[in-house]
Copies of this chain bind each other. A is one copy, B any other.
Amino acid sequence: MAGARRIRVQVAYDGTAYHGWQTQPGLPTVQQTIEEVLSGIEGKPVQLAGSGRTDAGVHAIGQVAAFTLENPIPCMNLRKAINRLLPEDIRIMTVEEVEADFHPRFDAVAKTYEYKIWRSEICPPMQRRWVHHHPYPLDEGALIAAASVLEGEHDFTAFAAADDRDEKGGSKVRTIFSSEAWREGELLVYRVRGSGFLKHMVRNIVGALLQVGCGNASREELRHRLTPGCGIRPGPRAPARGLCLISVEYPVSLTPSGSSE
């Protein structure tokens, strides 16, 4: 593959119309939609690797993905070409050349997600696609106070999907660097930054925080769920539409300075 380049892209998408990130036969997904465009540009199949999956209906402003290309098109023109061919609910925000062995999943050191809850009785049409509408009574102070319980290195088995695959050597231990909730106008916003996340983990955390807000669980019960072997199964998962992947971080050594834009 003479002249093949490894290309890293930052991807934003409105997940409403997609069955999540990962390619599934017969269903529209973000990965597959981008792969088809890239394959058209390259003239042969191109495989796209993402930093991780997002569920059906989940959005992203900072998903990171990578692919290998022989076509010598400059990064700036490549971005234009891809965006011209993509549907407008998916946009490539940046394109940059990286080391040949860059892998968006294995090289990631942190990810940040945000979950938005619309609190007032009526959810405006212009907000509806990006928020979970929850106009019911909620002890927001209790929910906000409980959020920090998740911080630190914990076994998140009680927040993983039943069918979660053990991608990191079977361990369900992850480190949460920050876990915060706050009010912003009519929105209750939850933001979490961690070393990695299990399948459905953020939505299960938000579901558990909503249980605290509803008075169905305490801060201490939430803490107990982080005890290895506690045997507690995740409660109701918060809806996908409120969730957005904000950013994926890589070691500074993997951040190129040259051909980016």
Contact = CB atoms under 8 A, between A and B. Distances in A.
6 contacts: A12-B124, A61-B124, A90-B125, A91-B123, A91-B125, A93-B124
Nearest to A60: B125
Contacts of A211: none
Contacts of A88: 123, 125, 128
Interface string A52-91: 0000000101000000000000000001100100001111
A216 B130 CA distance: 39
A91 B12 contact: no
Interface of A: 12-14, 59, 61, 79-80, 83, 88-93, 121-126, 128-130
Contact of A125 (B80, B89, B123, B125): B89
Contacts of A83: 122
A259 to B, nearest CB: 17
Contact of A14 (B59, B90, B126): B126
Contacts of A92: 122
Contacts of A125: 12-14, 59, 88-91
- 9 closest pairs, A vs B, by CB? A14-B125, A89-B125, A88-B128, A91-B122, A12-B125, A13-B125, A12-B124, A91-B125, A93-B122
Nearest to A90: B125
Given A61-B124, A83-B122, A88-B123, 18 more contacts: A12-B124, A13-B125, A14-B126, A14-B128, A59-B125, A59-B126, A61-B126, A79-B122, A80-B121, A89-B125, A89-B128, A90-B125, A91-B122, A91-B123, A91-B125, A93-B122, A93-B124, A126-B129
A130 to B, nearest CB: 6
A91 B124 contact: yes
A80 B122 CA distance: 9
A80 to B, nearest CB: 8
